Structure 1
Amino acid sequence: MTASFTSTLRQAGLVLAFAVSFSALSSSSSFAFSAEAQQMCTGDAFRLCSSEIPNIPRITACMYKHRADLSTGCRTVMDRDLAQQAKVATK
């Protein structure tokens, strides 16, 4: 196997692990984020929290920890989703 094939295969595995993690994250009531948040934040999660993949609670904690470093789109969508969750939780 060539180094580039191995690298590509590893990257594909990480993408798959992250997608599965975010899918599970969105189905968990305490860590539920929209499909839009998943799309907007995938790059940030890989950039800032790749060492935490596939541990969902640790990815989430890492994303909160690095909130100031998130892209504008990711931060906006996460804030909106969290506000919606808080509203639902208080009903």
Structure 2
Amino acid sequence: MLKTMNCGLAAIAFSIGLTGAASSYTRHQQQACQGDAMRLCGPVIPDHARIHSCLKAQRARISHACRAII
């Protein structure tokens, strides 16, 4: 239960971080990368710049939809 709660809080932080820090990203783009960010870059959420860097570094492991955006 604690893990589920932490994931929920991280998802909220991630979405707030992207909404505030990266208003140029569309909702579709945010959704395309949210799962990858949670799975691969959880420790850097909600820092948008670090999430972006992390996703770029993990490019081979992210979804095709997110890869197209990154």
- TM-score normalised by the chain length of structure 2: 0.83
**1:14 equivalent among 1, 10, 14:** 10
**1:53 equivalent among 45, 49, 56:** 45
Uncovered stretches (5+) of structure 2, i.e. residues with no partner:
none
Task: Flag the structure with more relative contact order, 1 or 2, with Cα contacts below 8 A and sequence separation at least 6.
Answer: 2
Say what the alpha-carbon RMSD is for the aligned residues: 1.5
Is the 2:41–2:55 contact (alpha carbons within 8 Å) kept by the matching residues of 1?
A: yes
Q: CA deviation at 1:40?
A: 0.8
Uncovered stretches (5+) of structure 1, i.e. residues with no partner:
80-91
* SS class of match (1:33): coil
Is the 1:49–1:59 contact (alpha carbons within 8 Å) kept by the matching residues of 2?
A: yes
